[in-house]
Chains A and B, each alone.
Chain A
């Protein structure tokens, strides 16, 4: 069966203010979608709402994964159902080692029925797998002993997110500006890593306002968000066009969405 993530007429508000005003998007397993758009257009909000951040209130519409209602699930249930988001700015958890966190996380995602306190995946197996994945991503093993995102450089944070993606092997992954703040080499490494993990093994939604990641991971679909709506959808040529020419054409073509975007960005 081909897994399908389906978003219909999604409306999301933050602290009472509407951000997303009716988003429709369908991603099939194995597809790569790019989500582009100017700052403040609502791209990250879509990612947060899909994962269930409590601050992002869904005021209308639906999100389903293979027909199951994601909106009914807590964030951990969504992860166990096969959803993943690489954070734009992952938060530090001082005192918690990457390896301990990842072992918990991997166990829960692989055994969705696991109850608190039940056994974790065996340490030996976990270590071996983690080591393999880290070598593949050219990461030092020392990294596993560091505290989660604590004192990480921008590049380290993003690589740690990709490592988690590699370990958790979700059905669908949202990469929220995984390329921002990285230099060209780091972007290439990140892109190659994603390709190594296997784009075809998941559905990808790459949120970006550059096209750096997309050069290495050409999307089948490109969506443009403005003022909390998807105003245009095309192929990889649309991403290339936006990268070359910016959002002037889009802003001019959709004055209503542009007005809403300006209003949101102005807040």
Chain B
């Protein structure tokens, strides 16, 4: 998939992809055997397998050191991960050895109920490594290519655009940032790389056209997006079908650079299987008069810790974070946002909505920081929690640090339960109690859902309906 994104080299790129696949098969079985655990040797092997430049190997090794020296954060959720019991790199062929029969029944049932096509199901369940979508994507890729847009997986980008990687990779989220970002930096694989040249405005949500891409959904994916001056992009990752993986840890790093007058919206809707720890670091920097928007929907997983951030570095920058979390049985969504005003006349907004059901727990954890000299900064935070039953829980941890006098900061928080009166009103008009609750919940998140591309909005509503029926794996 990754290789078909630079269409003027399309034929060549595809054949390289083929060769690589076979190379891995023949070559790697001799020198590389996927094994559990993490040490310097494994990191060296990963880098060698990918034929990376020396600087990337050094970057990985340094990150490994940092990972080993850092303690796990003591806040957030309960994390019980044995880092030595995880495969940090799998040959592309390994992924295909799983059989459809191994996929849990409830996941299959959910595919059924969501109406996911057969081909996508196998991919989503990890049975099939790639989903064939070149047909749809082909003309789009050509169009992007003409405009000078680079859209590929990060491994390929490292080979084909080393100068851009060297300049930006790891500059927004350094390995020192936190333990899981250090881990990602040491063992990353896959993820998306996007470069949008100055003034180029991509009219359609990228990735919505071929929303399924093996390379983009790795366990330690690494995404880097550079939106050059005056350019615009809306990138969409993930999908609402449950992503099943036998691995228990997903730890991605996403870095976004939005240059002067540029605009980036990054939309994520993910629905992880219940065994997953989803620990993701996402951060954007915003230059003069630039806008960055994170739209982030979190469903599923055992524990999600994710706080998309925008650093507003120059005057006129605008950062916005909209997030939805749904915590069901056995799930803890510790999600939130971080906005840093580091320049005057910067504006930011956080809207967070969470739903807790069947003993689920959702937390909003947010930081708003106005640095010294960032006068006339404006920021507004709204977080609303909806709790569906007495067993469920919601917490709010807002942190506000203001080092400047002349600013405007607002914060509103509400916690509500589905009201008996609302349920009675809807049921007395013929809706079953489940339909009524789902309708109330969908109404609750409507302000965010209407920001999503249509097909995602429809799927999200359907998914919430299924969650309300309590039948989702």
Binding site for B on A (CB under 8 A): 51-55, 74-76, 78-80, 84-85, 87, 90-91, 93-96, 100-101, 104-106, 108-109, 116-117, 147-148, 164, 168
Contacts and interface: CB of A to CB of B under 8 A. Distances in A.
Contacts, number: 89
A74 B428 CA distance: 9
Contact of A168 (B429, B436, B447): B429
B430 interface: yes
Interface class of chain A by DSSP: mixed
A100 B113 CA distance: 21
A147 B427 contact: no
B430 A74 contact: no
A50 to B, nearest CB: 10
Contacts of B424: 51, 53-54, 75
Nearest to A92: B422
B439 A96 contact: yes
Interface in B209-231: none
B427 A76 contact: yes
B439 A104 contact: yes
A74 B433 contact: yes
B142 interface: no
B435 interface: yes
Interface residues of B, number: 28
A87 B429 contact: no
Contacts of B426: 93, 101, 105
Q: Which of A84, A96, A147, A168 has the largest number of chain B CB atoms within 10 A?
A: A96
11 contacts: A51-B424, A53-B424, A75-B424, A76-B427, A76-B428, A84-B429, A91-B425, A101-B439, A106-B430, A109-B430, A147-B446
A89 B174 CA distance: 56
B421 interface: yes
A96 B443 contact: yes
B444 A79 contact: no
Nearest to A90: B425
A104 B431 contact: yes
B74 to A, nearest CB: 37
B428 A51 contact: yes
B440 interface: yes
Contacts of B427: 74-76, 79
Contacts of B429: 76, 79, 84, 101, 105, 109, 164, 168
Contact of A93 (B113, B422, B445, B469): B422
B421 A80 contact: no
A225 to B, nearest CB: 21
B431 A91 contact: no
Given A54-B420, A104-B435, A116-B469, A95 B442 contact: yes
B246 interface: no
